[in-house]
Amino acid sequence: MKKYYLDLPAGQIHYIKAGQGEPLLLLHQAPMSSIEWENIIPVLAQHFTVYAPDMAGHGQSYEPSAAMNIPDFAQDTIAFMDAHGIDKAFVAGNHSGAALATCLAVNWPERVKKLVISCEMLISKTQIDQFVAAIRAKPLSRDIPFDADGKFISDAWLRYAALAPTASLDTRYKPFIHGQLARLRKFDIHEPVLDWMGAEDWMSQIPCPTLVFGAENDLFFDEDKLEEAKSRIADAQTRVIKDAGALSTFEQPAAIADMLLTFFKQ
């Protein structure tokens, strides 16, 4: 597993690459980076050439000059694939990475062989509007105001406890630290991602075989909605990840890796 930089017209993209075989693209959630997949990549790299890029404005990739939306990140991702000579890839994404993966599958169907996305892609426009209202009313952990006593740090820590309520402190610590590094970035993408998700019924437009997974402690997990994926997407399977929440790739990397291998190698 090695780290690289790729020059794109808009700026440098940092990414992890490992393994040999058919290309597999792993797309992280905001405000994380490719670090989200680091415990999963070694397993997948035994079967695939794995690429895990940091989205612009995240990790060690370039700082965009203006706020970006999912179609902008998708254009970067297609340019990334072109630069590596990747005509078609297996693609997996978690949370905002799932929105990006869906955008690729819908708008560049010839580039996505199979798709894995997480369950918040199934939520309704009403749920999206409610969540947008909630994040406008209460600042995200990266936006909690600084205070001299450092209470903002403990408040942010409690937010991450809610994201992964059954995770060990060690497991929760890494995404927490990377989440706080997002304070150094200009833009947060949660609201633009949610706006894109609510713009159309993207699920009905996915043309490739798709696996939708739900972590049982995820804020957006709903077993009935997960089951609906089989009727909303032309060729869909579902999977529940036990004892995990929004940070499932950190919490249950072995289960996520097994899920991806099983689906992509079918």
pLDDT grade, residue 83 (50/70/90)? very high
- Cα(120)–Cα(117) distance, integer angstroms: 9
Q: Is the pLDDT of residue 167 over 90?
A: yes
How high is the pLDDT of residue 139? 85
- Cα(1)–Cα(48) distance, integer angstroms: 12
Strand partners, 27: 93
- Provide the residue ranges of all domains of the chain, joining segments of one domain with +: 2-264
2-264: CATH superfamily: Alpha/Beta hydrolase fold, catalytic domain (3.40.50.1820)
Between 147 and 138, the more confident residue is 147
Summarised one tens digit per residue, pLDDT across range 228-264 is: 999 999 999 999 999 999 999 999 999 999 999 999 9
| pTM for this entry | 0.97
Q: What is the mean pLDDT of the chain?
A: 96
* Cα dihedral sign, 218-223-229-235: positive
One-letter amino acid for residue 27 of the chain: L
How high is the pLDDT of residue 138? 87
Strand partners, 91: 25, 115
Average pLDDT over residues 81-94: 98
Kindly tell me the burial class for residue 138, based on how many C-beta atoms sit within 10 Å of its own C-beta (0-12, 13-18, 19 or more): exposed
Summarised one tens digit per residue, pLDDT across range 190-214 is: 999 999 999 999 999 999 999 999 9
As a 3-state breakdown, the chain gives helix, strand, coil percent values, each rounded to 5, of: 45, 20, 35
Share above pLDDT 90 across residues of the chain, in percent, rounded to a whole number: 95
Cβ proximity of 53 and 77 under 8 Å = yes
How high is the pLDDT of residue 237? 98
pLDDT grade, residue 72 (50/70/90)? very high
Q: Is the pLDDT of residue 91 over 90?
A: yes
**Chain-centre distance of CA 234, in angstroms?**
22
pLDDT grade, residue 181 (50/70/90)? very high
Share above pLDDT 70 across residues of the chain, in percent, rounded to a whole number: 100
Give the list of residues 6+ apart from residue 130 with CB closer than 8 angstroms, or none.
none
